[in-house]
Structure 1
């Protein structure tokens, strides 16, 4: 249709779908039509600062990546059945809904890609009320008919990165009391960086080169005009809300369209996340067998090759 596209994450419900979308986006790019995937957490100022620090060598060689995404909106077994709990519509559950963010953030922050995984997926509540009151993402069922939950409630997996780091990932929508605990910690030879979205204005940094008498994690308030994205928002000392990440995302896309440059993350970036999610699902179905992330060794497929 010749229109620029912003697609929510995950890019698709399967790798073949994502491959067709990425191929279509590459073809459209030759005509000046741009596409971007909505991994909005990349626009969180504290995480954007973390990426700058890693790129500048603050952590040195990265050894550990520790990522958690904890929510609780499905903790009530009588929360109603919604499209997010139907594999035919959502593709997956926690894995695609929130673990996708963790995978994208980890690869984006480190500049490394996940190469293989060993995973477990778990569905704790296997059926839920078909009818009821929907409040936010959750709600309360009406006590009547129940239908099957066909997606995962929780995902946990270890991972290797092509830069040599070891990764540990956990995601769940049944972590009682955790509203939106999107966390990541990166440990390197020279320092560490840690972030928790429930304290979204803060970044914890540790520099192993500090004087041993005063070493320790420092809490940086990422609220000043010198920090990524903050110059456009609040007066000094004020922070950012959840919705602003989406606003930054749209601004970055529109600016890319105006400049004729590629927005980030691209559909190819999102396709790569989809490949990691697929490896997690394959591993979980095969008794947590160590499973490589399937990435073609040849050039990316054309539209004709993937049936776009």
Structure 2
């Protein structure tokens, strides 16, 4: 079997999730290439060396440029903070490496276009880390829509709710620094909902939105693991320059209506990405905190027998589930990453387009930039104008 050597930049939350995916993909799926965790990269030598040992990588580097240039690296996985994506992705493309880049692809539409141009010029395979597209329930929702079960689509309403930064003493971590993260709840959470909306319903035509920062100053961070963080002792406070919450309305090119909310100030919601889609023949509802379920309402069912049905998306006939466990043995968040990696490996092995690719990252960047402009102007903004 042909081998595929991966070099990965980043070793914290996403680095751990991606490492697990690379370790599991050949174990559970009949991928057409053997994936090797060749080299992991990070700036802190002690930290990246420890990650290499813990996550099962063969080697490590502290210089990402050196890692990208290595002849024994076929794929560059970028899960570093957002401000580094553009430079790293273009450098990797110029080296002829296939690229898996975490979302958001770039800070702006202009930056995303540069990345797309570099990737297209290099002729590489490229994919953006919109991993929720690979949740079996969401793929099932896609199949149901495409088969006509919902009829003509009228509405997509989605939200991504978290609560981990509600405390004013939660420190100013990199996700709350615009120069590093690019945006707050919109780019961190809203990007996933935007991608699901595009994946399931279609392209977005125009948007109008509002953004809010509830806590404008926070103590300086001392450390962060996942979303848990500690502040420096007796730390002065720094200004927060990203959105804590963003709401926006929109219209799809096919005429359906859109509403999306993204916030990290929703008490009781740890990682709640939810959406509902309403059509002429029925509706579907999904909640990430109940990842193995999809709710379906059939408007054409016999009168007196209508109502939302909860589909347990754990049968072997459901997307990706055949590779895992018997029916009723549930899967979780990490499985979406394995599915994502499997599809990327298959795209490389069989010389076919990856999906979602950098063009999807560009489309998402356009929508987010349109929302930002709308919030500043207090007016509708057409997505294709950017």
2:372 maps to 281
Indicate if the aligned counterparts of 1:113 and 1:162 stay in contact, CA closer than 8 A.
Answer: yes
Q: Which residue, out of 242, 253, 269, partners 1:151?
A: 242
Deviation digits for residues 4-49 of structure 1 (CA, Å, limit 9, x no counterpart)? 10000011011111000011122222xxx21111100000000000
**Following the alignment from structure 2 to structure 1, what is the Cα–Cα distance between the partners of residues 217 and 282?**
45
1:306 maps to none
2:187 maps to 96
2:167 maps to 76
The answer to whether 1:122 aligns with 2:216 is no
Indicate if the aligned counterparts of 2:222 and 2:229 stay in contact, CA closer than 8 A.
Answer: yes
Shift in Å at residue 244 of structure 1?
Answer: 1.0
Deviation digits for residues 144-170 of structure 1 (CA, Å, limit 9, x no counterpart)? 211111111100000000111111110
Greater relative contact order: 1 or 2 (C-alpha under 8 angstroms, separation 6 or more)? 1
SS at structure 2 position matched to 1:294: helix
1:174 maps to 265
Q: CA RMSD in A?
A: 1.2
The answer to whether 1:13 aligns with 2:103 is no
User: Structure 1: where are the runs of 5+ without partners?
Assistant: 297-308
**Following the alignment from structure 1 to structure 2, what is the Cα–Cα distance between the partners of residues 131 and 269?**
33
Indicate if the aligned counterparts of 1:28 and 1:34 stay in contact, CA closer than 8 A.
Answer: no
Counterparts of 1:105-254 in structure 2 under 5 Å? 105-110=196-201, 112-141=202-231, 142-254=233-345
Indicate if the aligned counterparts of 2:208 and 2:381 stay in contact, CA closer than 8 A.
Answer: yes
Shift in Å at residue 135 of structure 1?
Answer: 4.9
1:24 maps to 118
The answer to whether 1:3 aligns with 2:93 is no
2:65 maps to none
**Following the alignment from structure 1 to structure 2, what is the Cα–Cα distance between the partners of residues 63 and 143?**
52
Going by fraction, where is helix more abundant, 1 or 2? 2
Indicate if the aligned counterparts of 1:131 and 1:145 stay in contact, CA closer than 8 A.
Answer: no
**Following the alignment from structure 1 to structure 2, what is the Cα–Cα distance between the partners of residues 84 and 40?**
19
Indicate if the aligned counterparts of 1:78 and 1:140 stay in contact, CA closer than 8 A.
Answer: no
User: Structure 2: where are the runs of 5+ without partners?
Assistant: 1-94
SS at structure 2 position matched to 1:77: coil
For these two proteins, the number of residue pairs brought into alignment is 291
SS at structure 1 position matched to 2:283: strand
- Normalising by structure 2, we get a TM-score of 0.74
Deviation digits for residues 152-211 of structure 1 (CA, Å, limit 9, x no counterpart)? 110000000011111111000111110011001100000001100011100000110001
Deviation digits for residues 72-91 of structure 1 (CA, Å, limit 9, x no counterpart)? 11111111111111111111
SS at structure 1 position matched to 2:384: coil
